[in-house]
Amino acid sequence: MIIFCSGIHGNGGKDYLARFTKHCEKHGKKVKIYSIGSMVFDQAKQMGISLSANNILNTSPVTLKALRAAVFERILGDKDKYDTILIDSHATFFWNRVFINAFDWEYITRLSPDLFVTVIDCTGDIRRRLTSAQQWKDQGISNKEILLWQNVEVNNTQGLAEQGRKPYYVIPARQHENTLYRLIFHPEMKPIYASYPMTNLKNPANKKLVDDFVKKMNEYFVVFDPGTIEVEEPNDDDKDVVFNHIVHRDIYWLIGQSDKVIAFMPEIVYTSGVDSELKEAHETNKDVWMVFPHKNYGPFTHYYNQKVFSSINELVDFIEGRGYEAKIEN
């Protein structure tokens, strides 16, 4: 199996893949990871080409293309030696305010990956990583540009997946490492989106209940949890862009890639997010279930949810009754 894993610079993908690799080793799975960036520098050294880590993106596009071609030819030669390989690459560079493709269509077509993923993170963490890196600190990339860059990265990688008619997932960097592990090694586990109130949920005890709900669902499903990609309070200039990106990300990326949406309402609070998520899932023909531990609920809750449960235990009984088996991995 071949996995193509993309992400913009500073996205936290290196740390996520390191955790994923350890998780694979712990469970007896060996995955060969090819880091395209490191391999390009090794290839340049072998060919006697001097590259500077800080200025590599100033290199002639023809030279970079030739180096990548040599790297991908090596991967093509090795791919039958391993059961599972993962190509760690970027789909897009944003350099000097210009978007540049970081891959070659020909080699993606020849490799024909079985799965495409993009690791994303919140703008605050990405910006801190970029500004602390010698290569990027003078680029002065703004929060808005990070959001735009990440959006383009997702769109380009999704396009590669659609061209090959292969599955594609967006994975927040704070997701558990078993997310990617299960997508690869346990395709029988269905992806779901965990929906719950966030902005107006103030009671710490109820936040703990949400965490317990997500943890319990993770025993049966691959859970995409919006709480794993935190958003810092944007300033007034960025607010519209940040809010638009959050809605687009949760609705079209995370819910779009999920088979089901399972919601949990630990308390009755105003939550336009949950309302919108349930409506989107309902209208895109997904299963929609809700845990609503309160005596009464109205017609809209009934309309947009196929099943409404009074407790997490009742939901679990229903899940197990539908033939889903728990799988607990440490």
**200: pLDDT strictly greater than 80:** no
Residue 218 confidence (pLDDT): 96
When the pLDDT of each residue in the chain is averaged and rounded to a whole number, the result is: 92
Residues 306-317 pLDDT 10s: 899 999 999 999
More confident residue, 302 or 49: 49
pLDDT at 291: 94
Give the count of alpha carbons within 13 A of 278, CB side only: 25
Q: In this structure, are residues 284 and 299 in contact, taking their beta carbons and an 8 Å threshold?
A: no
CA dist., res. 123 & res. 147, Å (int): 7
Write down the pLDDT at residue 34.
96
Residue 251 has pLDDT above 70, yes or no: yes
pTM, whole model, 2 decimals? 0.94
Topology of the domain covering 1-187: Rossmann fold (3.40.50)
- Domain 189-330 grouped into CATH 3.40.630.30: no
Highest mean pLDDT: which of 80-84, 147-151, 204-208? 147-151
Rank 5-19, 186-200, 259-273 by mean pLDDT and report only the highest.
5-19
pLDDT-above-90 percentage for the chain: 77
Contact, 217 vs 161, CB < 8 A?
no
pLDDT band at 330 (very low <50, low <70, confident <90, very high): low
pLDDT at residue 232 tops 80 = no
Which helix or strand (DSSP H or E) is residue 5 part of? Answer: strand 2-6
- pLDDT tens for 58-110 read 999 999 999 999 999 999 998 888 889 999 999 999 999 999 999 888 999 99
Residue 245 and residue 147 in contact, taking contact as beta carbons nearer than 8 Å: yes
The answer to whether 25 and 60 have CB atoms below 8 angstroms apart is: no
Residue 269: the pLDDT is 77
Q: For the stretch 177-204, what's the b/e string if a residue is b when 16 or more beta carbons lie within 10 angstroms of its beta carbon?
A: bbbbbbbbbeeebebbbbbbbbeebeee
54 and 130 Cβ atoms separated by less than 8 Å: no
Domains of the chain: which residue ranges?
Answer: 1-187, 189-330
